[in-house]
Chains A and B, each alone.
Chain A
Amino acid sequence: MGKFFSRYKYYLIGALVLFIALTLILIVFSSGPQRGAFNYQIF
């Protein structure tokens, strides 16, 4: 298992950095007062 993660750790770190960056961008640009109709249940 350790060997597996050491082999792919750069992919994992890269994907995590991408996720965090995307999430932060999304939080910033989607913030603001509720504009749409009430949307109670998203699924």
Chain B
Amino acid sequence: MNTSKILKNLLAILILIVVLFAICEALIRVYLHYNTVYDIEMTRYAMEVKEDSENPKIGHVHKPGSEEELMNVKVSINSDGLRDKEYSTEKGDAYRMIFLGDSLTFGWGVEVEDTFQYILEEELSKTSPTEIINFGIGNYNTEQEVNLFFEKGVKYDPDKVVLFYFINDAEITPEKSGLWFLGYSHLISFYWSRINSLINNIVAAKSFKEYYSNLYEEGQEGWANSKNALIELRDYCRENGIALQVVLLPELHDTDNTIFTQVYDKVSGFLEENGIDYMSLAKLFKGQGNPIELWVNYDDAHPNDVAHRKIAEALVEFISNKETD
């Protein structure tokens, strides 16, 4: 076989691969048009709604003014990168709060009107004017939440800051993968996601528990960063007459709080030792027969509208306390 024939064959193989990839990509996109897959929606969120932050302690922020439909729910980001309406930095008569948190506070998978932030704002405003600004951003840990507050939240001059803690907040701040561009291919994202899911179906029961528990072992960088950030936020709030509260959000696989009891105890213990007012909702859904009824989707354990409403109802009294410590 001469060289020109070999090159011709190689070129034919290359063209076939490209054509095949294009057809497969198109087929997967048709499938995804009719089926919502959590990992794909999260990848779209990362690609379309998030952008890099110049601050390495924040990592990423929302693109101001972006709009996207994610998990079949409209997501609109305001001019300051928040999933909320526009707020003036000039404070009026209303008692102003800032809610810091991750995708649970952001309201992943639920309409704005169904988020616990919105419900609480409505409820508290019945007795006195209240503004609650939602600083929730998906994939944030405590360090990112606190640094976002220092960078963007301080200018709103809040009367109170409430940090919503979820057990994955002790993860270290993620670095952008060198393969981020692969997220543009739904084919590659879909296959990656399904293979990962397949592995989880086989080995997850053990790894899931270990993964979260390991985050809180002594010496873990992420947990140390979380603790430092909480102390930093507490000190800033004390110095500036801002009330600070922390809410521990429930894990919705473990509604009876039997798997992650030690993790919640560890976080509660730290908050208590450091004089930070907190409320744990770890057992809010105790006795819930089927936890999946509280999820956004079968493959997405974020709280749905029912869970958000229950969280809001459980918090009304705690959040309405206006005393600073």
The count of chain A contact residues (Cβ–Cβ below 8 Å) is: 26
Please classify how large the interface on chain B is, using the bins under 10, 10 to 19, 20 to 34, 35 or more.
35 or more
A37 touches B211 (CB 8 A): yes
Partner of A29, one of B193, B201, B300: B201
- Provide the bound-state CA to CA distance between A8 and B174, in Å: 44
- Provide the bound-state CA to CA distance between A31 and B35, in Å: 12
B183 touches A12 (CB 8 A): no
Q: Flag whether A21 is at the interface (Cβ < 8 A).
A: no
**Which A residues touch B207, using CB under 8 A?**
36
**Which A residues touch B16, using CB under 8 A?**
8, 11-12, 15
Given A12-B20, A26-B195, A34-B300, verify A40-B103 contact (CB < 8 Å): yes
A41 touches B20 (CB 8 A): no
Most buried by B among A8, A31, A42: A42
**Which B residues touch A39, using CB under 8 A?**
39, 42, 196
> B196 → chain A, closest Cβ, in Å?
7
B43 touches A26 (CB 8 A): no
Question: Can you list 29 A-B contacts (CB < 8 A)?
Answer: A12-B19, A15-B16, A15-B20, A19-B20, A23-B27, A23-B31, A26-B191, A29-B201, A30-B195, A30-B201, A31-B197, A33-B301, A34-B38, A34-B301, A35-B208, A35-B253, A36-B197, A36-B204, A36-B211, A38-B103, A38-B301, A39-B196, A40-B138, A41-B43, A41-B174, A42-B42, A42-B192, A42-B193, A43-B182
- By a beta-carbon cutoff of 8 Å, the part of chain A in contact with chain B is 4, 8, 11-12, 15-16, 19-20, 23, 26-27, 29-43
